Amino acid sequence: GVADNGSSDGSQEIATNSGARVVPIPERGYGSALRGGIAAAKGQYIIIGDADDSYDFTNLSPFLEKLRQGYDLVMGNRFQGGIKPGAMPVLHKYLGNPVLTWLGRLFFGSPCGDFHCGLRGFSKQAIEQLNLRTTGMEFASEMVVKASLYGLKITEVPTTLSPDGRSRPPHLKTWRDGWRHLRFLLMYSPRWLFLYPGLALMFLGFVATIWFIPQPRVHTLLYSATALIIGFQIVSFAIFTKAFAISEGLLPEDRKLRRFLRYIN
């Protein structure tokens, strides 16, 4: 099937004439197109990929094999399979993708070595339980992040990446979409965004306060005490941010947090 997100090159007619089912998705955006296509798909397993000649759709057997083995999400890994010359900008290949993937693995314990590979397969039932919401390029991160947080069974297979076969420039914007991915990773990890920095600031403030108490440095003592208080506020913000995210269905239930909140209440 093909999820059409407003193409104006006549590809819808070509796909229809070739026997494909074309599903029009009115809401623009990478995530919107994929969410619409996933909702319209009727199979038990779904394999998605960009229709720009960059992925080899004739070699999908490894994805199906892993899905039939019981995996919920099977990611392609372009770095293992091979990136052909000109297929990926140098900045994306050596900085953007590796850094964002490393952060994703660090923040969420994901086993994926290529967070943003567009070729991936999954169980429709498992993915629909994640309540994916994003409409833009960060959809690629959202699927992996939520699959990791909700304990889905994830693996990856090597896949190749070829140069984009379209005549127009790609929709991906390096800095804009890179920031959207990073922002999403931070938003879904209050622990790394607020908790750890807050604890570090509290620790520094506490140590400095103890150090300066017996010394006649009132202003320095004031700064260290302020750091301690601000650190505590940031830690508190981390706790209540996660509680709010859980209540809104953005993060899975956390029994430890629930017990802690009951204790302080």
pLDDT along the chain (265 residues), means of 10: 84 88 92 94 95 92 98 98 94 95 96 96 96 91 96 97 80 84 92 96 93 79 92 95 88 86 77
Query: Measured between alpha carbons, how far apart are the two ends of the chain, in Å?
Result: 52
Residue 9 has what pLDDT?
78
Angle formed at CA 16 by CA 11 and CA 19, multiple of 5 degrees: 130
Residue 248 has what pLDDT?
82
* DSSP-based three-state secondary structure for 222: helix
Residue 265 has what pLDDT?
67
pTM of the model: 0.85
- 26-49 burial, b for 16+ CB within 10 Å, e for fewer? eeebbbbbbbbbbeebeeebbbbb
d(CA 222, CA 218): 6
State whether the Cα torsion 197-136-113-45 is positive or negative.
positive
- Asked if residue 150 lies in contact with residue 130, where contact means CB atoms within 8 angstroms, the answer is yes
Per the document, the length of the chain is 265
